[in-house]
Amino acid sequence: MCELFGVELSEEMIENLPKKWELHGDLAILPKHSFRSSNWLSILSNQPQLQQQIWQAIAQALGVNRLAQQAEISSDRLRTSQVTMLLGENGEVEFTDYGVKFWFDVTKVMFSSGNVTERHRIGSIDMTDECVIDAFAGIGYYTLPMLVRSGARHIYACELNADSVDALSRGARLNGVTNRLTIVEGDNQDTLKNLTGLADRVHLGILPSSESVWHLAVDCLKTTGGVIHIHMNVKEVEVDEFVMYCLSELQDYVTKHHNFTNITVIHVEKVKWYAPHTRHIVIDVCID
Ligand SMILES: C[S@@+](CC[C@H](N)C(=O)[O-])C[C@H]1O[C@@H](n2cnc3c(N)ncnc32)[C@H](O)[C@@H]1O
């Protein structure tokens, strides 16, 4: 095809072709570095017809109708997506994972496909009769599996980003669980204070650190206690040390502010490599 347009592919251009992609229904997202070499950039900007044909050929090869390209996730706390559409009108996608339906717009919010094993693990925990707080709900990555698969009685889902709130409420409708979900819009530093003493379980799914809400999460537990899922990025060689730090930090807080007597680490999950030598871990802590 490039030959038809008088373009000869150099080694560098071949090297810069996408070798992997994310699939969301009929939409594929190409990696952020693909087609970004100086040769590709100048050819694609000067030859819009060729560009269009390349996007169409890739979409056809991948069996999708729409194509987008990944970009850096914004470093703001909203974790806004900066994905851009290459082919197709909009970035709205709906997909089903382990029987749970999700909806989101890839151009507006990020979706971490690397957390799939953790999503499945959390969804396999029996939460029958439990009241759960998801402090960083996003589009419902964990909220929806906890409602649909774990059978949580009710979830309070805290979320700051209006686009994620919209996606979460659509996801809840698709799964028929709106009557068991309360979306609490706003900064959880404020909103968690209105949820004290309510929860059997609190989920803290934020990276690189969830430490800013550890104390608030303890305050949200019922007086009978419960479980907190603590997400963190930790250097692989420091995981044990960090778990001890987490325990002693919680112990100090509980001693000063609560009547709980036991704090136990029930599980440490190594979810994924976040960066070389750095693990995304989840510490499941039982406090009662
Ligand atoms: C990293 S995303 C969740 C990612 C998800 N755990 C996954 O597996 O892909 C974190 C979510 O927390 C929300 N968030 C960040 N800070 C917040 C805060 N202070 N209060 C409420 N929501 C917050 C962001 O808007 C975002 O939707």
Series of mean pLDDT values for 10-residue runs along the chain (288 residues): 68 89 91 90 88 93 95 65 88 93 91 85 97 97 97 98 96 98 98 98 96 98 98 95 96 95 95 89 97
pLDDT of 73 reads 62
The reply to whether 191 falls in a domain is yes
CB-defined site of ligand 1, < 6 Å: 77-79, 111-112, 115, 136, 138, 141, 158-161, 164, 187-189, 205-206
| Whether residue 239 sits in one domain with residue 159 | yes
| Whether residue 140 sits in one domain with residue 14 | no
| Whether residue 118 sits in one domain with residue 184 | yes
pLDDT of 43 reads 87
pLDDT of 111 reads 76
Exposed/middle/buried for 3, CB within 10 Å: 0-12, 13-18, 19+?
exposed
| Whether residue 175 sits in one domain with residue 128 | yes
Last residue of a domain, which of 38, 73, 89? Answer: 89
215 is in which domain, residue-wise? 114-287
The reply to whether 95 falls in a domain is no
The structural domain count of the chain equals 2
The reply to whether 154 falls in a domain is yes
CB 161 within 8 A of CB 109: yes
| Whether residue 120 sits in one domain with residue 81 | no
- 266-285 CB burial, b ≥16 within 10 A, e <16: eebbebeebeeeebbbbbbb
| DSSP run (H or E) holding 11 | helix 11-15
ipTM: 0.93
> For a pocket test of ligand 1, which of 76, 116, 118, 159 has the largest count of ligand atoms closer than 8 A to its C-beta?
159
pLDDT of 4 reads 59
CATH number at residue 27: 3.30.300
Last residue of a domain, which of 37, 55, 89? Answer: 89
| Whether residue 157 sits in one domain with residue 16 | no
| Whether residue 59 sits in one domain with residue 18 | yes
Instruction: Round to whole Å and give the CA distance between 168 and 100.
Output: 12
| Whether residue 180 sits in one domain with residue 119 | yes
The reply to whether 98 falls in a domain is no
| Whether residue 166 sits in one domain with residue 66 | no
| Whether residue 73 sits in one domain with residue 30 | yes
